[in-house]
Amino acid sequence: MRAIRVHELGGPEVLRYEEVPAPEPGPDQVRVRVEAIGLNFIETYQRTGLYKLPLPFIPGQEFAGTIEALGAQVQGWAVGDRVVTASGSGGYADLALAPASKLVRVPAEVDLKLAAAVLLQGLTAHYLTHSTYPLKAGETCIVTAAAGGVGLLLVQIARRLGARVIGLVSSEEKAALARDAGASEIVFYTRENFAQRARELTEGRGVDVVYDSVGKSTWEQTLDSLRPRGYAVFFGNASGPMPAIEPLALSTRGALFMTRPTLAYYIATEEELAWRAGDLLNWMAAGELRVRVDRELPLAEAAEAHRLLEGRKTTGKVLLIP
């Protein structure tokens, strides 16, 4: 089979398209014939070494397709089932493995490509708004990178919960997308102080929560945007790793809360995964949640896909197609 493999850490050029042996499923795994792979920022962190993986490795944990082979202990699944996972391994390939416990069945009404486009980012948006800081009707949140893959889903789900959304974007094109998703106000955070604008838009009070996926370049304004006892939820490092933050920085700004969540701890059980994924796929099947696919690229062009993602050249999800 063909796959993208990383032999050394570095820029997008280290992503090599090459022939590799087909993986064999372990006792509790399935092998999936991959139809579409969801591109995620975590793969750029793994490629550069910010997140460590043993070399060589095949990136990719989010993909959709059909089951081709079952491990000896797998029950409840059959060859040919349509599935998606955000917890697989070796997804940048024709064939990939996933734990049976981390599979989600894809309804017939949902295209497999859209399932691959929504799952990891959709699960992230779901846990952020339903669990990390459960948004309530009438509350106000800031969503950074509001026209990105997670951002567009976050905006829609926050509006579904009855919250007011201030969307941070960097261009007029992205502003239009965030507004269309449901953002009440738009702030161009690359050319204006969004903490100051947040205060103006909330009559000096500050927002209830900031969902910040940018990190290094936004963290200080994120803290300055919050009401007393507000929540700073840092869930990404798109501009680079954040510096160490002294606890006093939270105290002097109004006894703030700060957290750095990650998806694995919010889909730790099969029941929690089924709840979150079930909501997403059911909303999609009913036409109540829209997933924007920015573009599809052949798997062989994974390096170009990484360049686009890191260069902020995308709005919505990028898919790789084997």
Q: How confident is the model at residue 80 (pLDDT cuts 50, 70, 90)?
A: very high
Range of the domain at 65: 2-119+267-321
CA distance 72 to 195: 55
pLDDT of the residue at 70: 98
Do 143 and 208 fall into the same domain?
A: yes
Q: How confident is the model at residue 315 (pLDDT cuts 50, 70, 90)?
A: confident
In a domain, 19, yes or no: yes
Do 36 and 113 fall into the same domain?
A: yes
Question: Mean per-residue pLDDT for 130-152?
Answer: 95
Residue 312 has pLDDT above 80, yes or no: no
**Pairing status of strand 164-169 against strand 185-188:** parallel
Do 187 and 277 fall into the same domain?
A: no
Do 180 and 290 fall into the same domain?
A: no
Final residue before a domain boundary, out of 235, 260, 285: 260
Q: Which two tokens stand for residue 58?
A: 């095949």
Residue 314 has pLDDT above 90, yes or no: no
Question: Mean per-residue pLDDT for 50-57?
Answer: 94
In a domain, 126, yes or no: no
> Which H or E element spans position 281?
helix 270-285
pLDDT of the residue at 149: 86
Do 242 and 284 fall into the same domain?
A: no
Question: Mean per-residue pLDDT for 18-26?
Answer: 97
In a domain, 175, yes or no: yes
CATH of residue 199: 3.40.50.720
β-bridge mates for residue 18, sequence order: 3
pLDDT of the residue at 242: 84
CATH of residue 33: 3.90.180.10
Written as one letter, the residue type at 80 is G
Question: Mean per-residue pLDDT for 280-297?
Answer: 94
pLDDT of the residue at 107: 93
Do 49 and 30 fall into the same domain?
A: yes
Q: What is the pTM of this model?
A: 0.88
Hunting for tokens 């063909």 — which residue is that? 2
Residue 133 has pLDDT above 80, yes or no: yes
**114 vs 41 pLDDT, higher one:** 114
Number of structural domains (the chain) is: 2
pLDDT in tens, 156-187: 999 999 999 999 999 999 999 999 999 999 99
In a domain, 164, yes or no: yes
Question: Mean per-residue pLDDT for 274-291?
Answer: 95
How far CA 43 is from CA of 35, 221, 228, 310, in Å, comes to: 19, 27, 36, 11
In a domain, 125, yes or no: no
pLDDT in tens, 232-255: 999 987 777 888 899 999 999 999
Question: Mean per-residue pLDDT for 271-294?
Answer: 95
Residue 316 has pLDDT above 90, yes or no: no
